[in-house]
A and B are shown apart, each in its own frame.
Chain A
Amino acid sequence: MHSLSNRRGWGFWLQLGFTLLVCALLTVPMAMSMLAGLTANYFVGLKSGLTLHWVDEVLRVYSGTILLSLQIAFACLACTLVLGVPAAYALARRPGRIARLVEEMLMMPVAIPGLATALALIVTYGGVGDLRSSWLFILIGHVLFTLPFMVRAVLAVMGSIDLTTLEEGAASLGAGFLRRFATVVLPNCRSGILAGSLMVLTLSVGEFNLTWLLHTPLTKTLPVGLADSYASLRIEIGSAYTLVFFLMIVPSLILMQGLFRRGRPSV
């Protein structure tokens, strides 16, 4: 092993260089934008000094959108878990042609533009009670949009383990359906549920296409607020907003990762 690492050819350095370049292409604009949010005056540049003034302003003015985004994201996660995990399980356990067709149709939300889905929602449910002006309207859109991602992530893991035999093993030991589901199915699909949850959270927090059509002035989410501020306010505010967005999403992702890592059932 050791001697191998000493003989790195030009191919290795080429690959490393390319990888770093791609990383830089992705991260430099992000870093620049966030830096802009900390700069006292963007047009003067860094020599104008660093400040938390803009971040402070964003938190003061836009804390409502941040909280609503989080509220919708976690509600959306709860809905997709409750709906998506059993749906994935049903698809995984059913061998028939219809199940395979449904699986294929799970690709649909990627193919249909969010704007189209939003319009369809407004046309269909826009007139139902106070729904149009409620944050629940946005939630419905987000659940519709993210559910397939949850189902696919869980389904992928369920397809890779022999779930049927595991369950038959548990059943032979006397476990009824609910116990099997809780003690055998769910724990062994943890990685898929985790992947799906992270996906749903990030997609929901960052969702713009649907939300832009579904929102009202009173139900503005973070990305919609972000777009507004970029369009109408100083670029420093928009950039500070991006920074807040980033700081918000990263800890929640790390937290979720931690939650799923710990804790196994004991004897």
Chain B
Amino acid sequence: MPDSVMQNSFHLDAVPIRLERCGKTFAGGARALEPLDLTIRGGETIVFLGPSGCGKTTTLRIIAGLESPDPDGRVLFGEEDVTALPIERRNVGMVFQSYALFPNMTVAENVAYGLKVRKIARADRGRRVEEMLDLMHLGEFAGRRIDQLSGGQRQRVALARALVVRPRVLLLDEPLTALDAKLRDSLRLEIDRLLRGLGITAVYVTHDQGEAMALGDRIVVMAKGRVAQVGTPREIYYQPADGFVADFIGTMNRLGGLSRGGTLSIGSATLPWSGPEGAVELLVRPEDLALAGEADGHLGGTVAAAVFLGDRTRLVVEPADGPALTVDAAGRSELGRGDRVWLRVDPARVLAVP
């Protein structure tokens, strides 16, 4: 294919992935993953998100072919059942947290490795390596050894090495975790641009909700070897399936309320209500709590801490009873520790957990 169409031609197949009853019990009987059913659409970027030890890596490794699922489980790429194939026959691209670059080879040799394995002719190989290095802005580093690169450059080499062989799916296990914060942001943007541009099916594992929200078309929130919720970032954020998801993503306030006959009592206020009856726990995002005057506020409290964030001030308010609430005061707020404030709750934006 001519070089002029390179930008467009470097578009990869969008193969869907299906996991059927994929559980994992390690030798010794430890259940790392409860049987899991999941369909990942072709071309989609799906993010596995959850605290350390919840089974994200295990799931990714089952997709990769580095672990096999418990006997009943199946992994399908498109219509092909790949459960029995080892990783080297699955044609997946893999990016590791620790880079896994070969220290005995230069940058160009690392990127060429997969092509050599596939017996691509030398000339073709050289051209593809060069294209890939340019795409990842690594051209000038081609002859460097791996230990002469920064962390960010190493991870870009790892991406180049994984993508140059045009894998069916791209698997990334916490690729940014080893990097410092500033680099993490810029490389995250680069990965985002790359995944959108390539149209490849990508599975991305992270424990960082910010990364998950920014990169994922959909997020799979995991807890203790189970899927807690699957949804778009907005669904996960605004309609968390349970308290765990609510707490894990962003900041969530909890308040106690009592609902009876279409009304809800919070503190001293009574609001119209269409949710469940009885004593309920209410989940409210900080941005859905508003500061108000004594007359129109629902709930009074004392500022226990105020953190100035520039565009807003994040307040921790202690109500008369119940746990402390986090709320944002927009603009030039002078509120500080010890001040008395009133909060309004918008019942339409409140989630109730019975």
B302: chain A residues within 8 A (beta carbon): none
Contact of A173 among B86, B108, B165 (CB under 8 A): B165
Given A171-B88, A266-B109, A267-B109, the answer on whether A166 and B114 have CB atoms closer than 8 Å is no
- Asked if residues B96 and A175 are in contact (CB atoms below 8 Å), the reply is no
Say yes or no: A184-B88 contact (C-beta < 8 A), given A168-B96, A173-B161, A179-B117.
no
B91: A residues at CB distance < 8 A:
174
B92 to chain A: which residues have CB within 8 Å? 172
Give the residues in chain B near A171, CB-CB below 8 Å.
66, 86-88
Chain B CB within 8 A of A176 CB: yes
> What is the bound-complex CA distance between A10 and B87, given in angstroms?
62
Q: Are B114 and A265 in contact (CB under 8 A)?
A: no
> Is the CB–CB distance between B104 and A175 below 8 Å?
no
Is B162 an interface residue, CB under 8 A from the partner? yes
Chain B neighbourhood of A168, CB < 8 A: 66, 87, 94, 96, 100
Closest to A172 in B: B94
Q: Which residues of B contact A175 (CB under 8 A)?
A: 88, 113, 117
Closest to B171 in A: A172
**A209 is an interface residue with CB less than 8 A from chain B:** no
Does A59 touch B at the CB level, under 8 Å?
no
How many chain A residues have a CB neighbour from B under 8 Å? 23
- Asked whether A165 is an interface residue with its Cβ less than 8 Å from the other chain, the reply is yes
| Interface residue? A17 (CB, 8 A) | no
A188 near B: Cβ within 8 Å? yes
**Bound CA span A190–B108, Å:** 21
Question: Quick check: A184 and B101 within 8 Å, CB to CB?
Answer: no
Q: Answer whether residue B112 sits at the interface, using C-beta atoms and an 8 A cutoff.
A: yes
CB distance from A254 to the nearest CB of B (A): 23
The answer to whether B104 and A184 have CB atoms under 8 Å apart is yes
Most buried by A among B94, B104, B106: B104
Q: Which residue of A lies closest to B91 (CB)?
A: A174
A74 to chain B minimum Cβ distance, whole angstroms, is: 26
B86 in contact with A166 (CB, 8 Å):
no
Instruction: Please name all residues of chain A whose beta carbon is closer than 8 Å to the beta carbon of B64 when the two chains form the complex.
Output: 172
How big is chain B's contact interface, by range? 20 to 34
Q: Does B239 sit at the interface, judged by CB under 8 A?
A: no
Interface residues of A in 157-215 (CB under 8 A from B): 161-162, 165-166, 168-176, 179, 183-184, 187-188, 190
Contact A169–B109 (Cβ < 8 Å): no
Q: A172 touching B102 by the CB < 8 A rule?
A: no
Say yes or no: is A60 at the interface (Cβ < 8 Å to chain B): no
Min distance, Cβ B328 to any Cβ of chain A, angstroms: 42
A184 contacts which of B98, B102, B125 (Cβ < 8 Å)?
Answer: B102
A264 at interface (Cβ–Cβ under 8 A)?
yes
Contacts of B101 in A (CB 8 A): 169
The answer for the CA separation of A183 and B114 in the assembled complex, in Å, is 12
- Verify B108–A267 contact, CB threshold 8 A: yes
Q: Is B105 touching A169 in the complex (CB atoms < 8 A)?
A: no
Contact string, B51-88, partner A, CB cutoff 8 A, digits 1/0?
00000000000001010000000000000000000111
With A179-B117, A267-B109: A172-B93 Cβ-Cβ less than 8 Å: yes
Taken together as a complex, chains A and B put the C-alpha atoms of A169 and B173 apart, in Å, by: 12
A172-B94, A175-B88, A267-B108 as given contacts; A165 in contact with B125, CB under 8 Å: no
Of listed A174, A176, A183, residue having the most chain B CB within 10 A: A174
Cα–Cα, bound, A169→B105 (Å) = 13
A161: B residues at CB distance < 8 A? 103
Q: Does B126 lie at the interface of the complex (its beta carbon under 8 Å from any beta carbon of A)?
A: yes
A266 vs B129: C-alpha distance when bound (angstroms): 13
| Nearest 5 pairs of A and B residues by beta carbon | A169-B100, A173-B114, A172-B94, A187-B104, A174-B117
Q: 23 A-B Cβ contacts within 8 A?
A: A161-B103, A165-B100, A166-B100, A166-B102, A168-B87, A169-B94, A170-B102, A172-B88, A173-B88, A173-B114, A173-B161, A173-B162, A174-B88, A174-B91, A174-B117, A176-B88, A183-B102, A183-B113, A264-B105, A265-B105, A266-B109, A267-B106, A267-B126
Given contacts A162-B100, A169-B102, A266-B109, 4 further A-B contacts (CB under 8 A): A168-B94, A173-B117, A174-B91, A264-B104
Residues of B in contact with A (beta carbons under 8 Å apart): 64, 66, 86-89, 91-94, 96, 98, 100-106, 108-109, 112-114, 116-118, 125-126, 129, 161-162, 165, 171
